Chains A and B, each alone.
Chain A
């Protein structure tokens, strides 16, 4: 586990570079990092929870604490598995030890505890951080090919198999 902050991305085989000519590798982009921090600040200010995405302060109450109700914890867990940690590479917030992921877990758990719908929480997070935060792509004008692909591939598979075998049968019948 890449602990407190995952400056070292987890899937290192690709990342261990001889010359790190590009500091951008570490974070998706500096401007994103900044705006994310800014948003996190706003967000926290809004709820007046005395925590911020800084290492010096203790983690948010529900960052490392499970909800009492197992059903609610499961719902929170399922949701957290599908949300991206914005400071790490390819980790969900459930798996990340970055402070920011801890804050997001805290948010998710508290909202679930208050009885909010997981999908509403997802929508709320997407509204703040963009589609990037959710591993579950939505159908939009931008992403529809992702959902068309399986249908097209299935149709193609049927066509290929049909073509191959109707022909074989026709020829087999003749010979």
Chain B
């Protein structure tokens, strides 16, 4: 039997959370004043948790590497946030949101956690509106919804194309209120470099003040990790430049199991790379696929002519185009889920049909939509003999109203007018479903150490639905962690202040300074980015959108080799006791170089295709679904939680078997 205990409460799914809340231990207000909590990361999850815990009366110390909590990368989420409010009366319910999330996750998430998430989703909207988050409204003054990501109801709340920003600013404002009250001690431009365990419990962290380089000790009765995902293991991703896995990886090394590292989401509609200098990728909202048709040329000679600039995409007739999604998936066409659309683009580009200089781009064409809308508008305006130009003009107006800001963004980056020539898109790493393993309480395998938001593994299984990341971050921070952590802290009221002058702190600090000094004194010959790019290439080529055993085995070897070369030959200029961005990067890349290997190891172990993880060996061999992903529920319906044992290759696998009592496991089909 596994040593993992998910601590899911007994009883019917619907009542688990309510019953749990009724029965947990509470901490009285006077005692809360003598309890400290450290929150690392101040995005939606960390920010909302810090604010709520401080409201409750705990002393919160919050940390972020940016110069303000408001800059956390949650801010970049465009689309929206799901909530089972059923304001549209279209049949939405807690159960339906739960069902969609489990199914979207390809049946690899924990039922009880997901149900709880769906249950509190409505509260999030109430809370955010009360905070003054300016969600979009209809003319009656009530909240507006849009539909998102192929679900059957309209349940996504949004604030223009900046929902993440507005929700984060809401959490940030709640934090500011507590900072002003003195209940949150905010440490901006600080990076957590290790967790400190005393008697098996998380009791503090070692952090580096990024401005002065000073190494600081901070103690607390509990530590919360809310540091987001590890998409930057690919070097290029839609994550922020500073997004990193260091906090998550350091706690893993101190005993927290790391779950499902191979589950990453590759988003199909990103702006393609334009050259080797590329530093990050920009996401274009998925909604574009509602009106855009994806294609590449049918003939190789056209591909080459386009790459050489001899032909333009608009020169190609309908017959010369391969609308490959419509061809392969007639039922869903361009609206297949993210993972399917991404893999299909890769398949075409790998076959040599990529349409830009790097060979990694496909077209997203709005011509048909412009034509369709234009004709429709002409009818509406009563124009019986509208000219071609007039129809295009009317159609473009509609497209502009729907996607104007995205088109503008595209034009700024690529310098091409997407109304006139098709957009170029390519998939990019966007979100990581895997993360630190947590139980129902969001506690890791280290006592007193919690992990919330994208940093944990809990709610999205092998694939995340659109507009669910914001929901999970805020649910964890506002409504779940504040209860579950209280249950743990009720045993800490007699502990008293945790001293930082203990051997455990000494040891942790020494390890941190040793690593920093090693980097500074290394005098190698290559910059940190040089190694990060190498790692990224291996990850993308061999642990990317589709994976096979041979490649993964090679990846494991190659990553190990890069890691060794990195420690031998990395060059970190500057000093340890000053603002030193290169030194910061070095520490982060060191951790990615370990995580990347575990990632490949996990992907190799999981010999099935599920969600974002596609194994070329595990496909349907015949029938209508031929060539599509094949899940293996009999052998792989478990969470893979890895225990650190020194080298990533020595990591030990623990399985948490997933049980589905309220939902039937089905194959996803989009044919």
Co-complex (A, B):
no
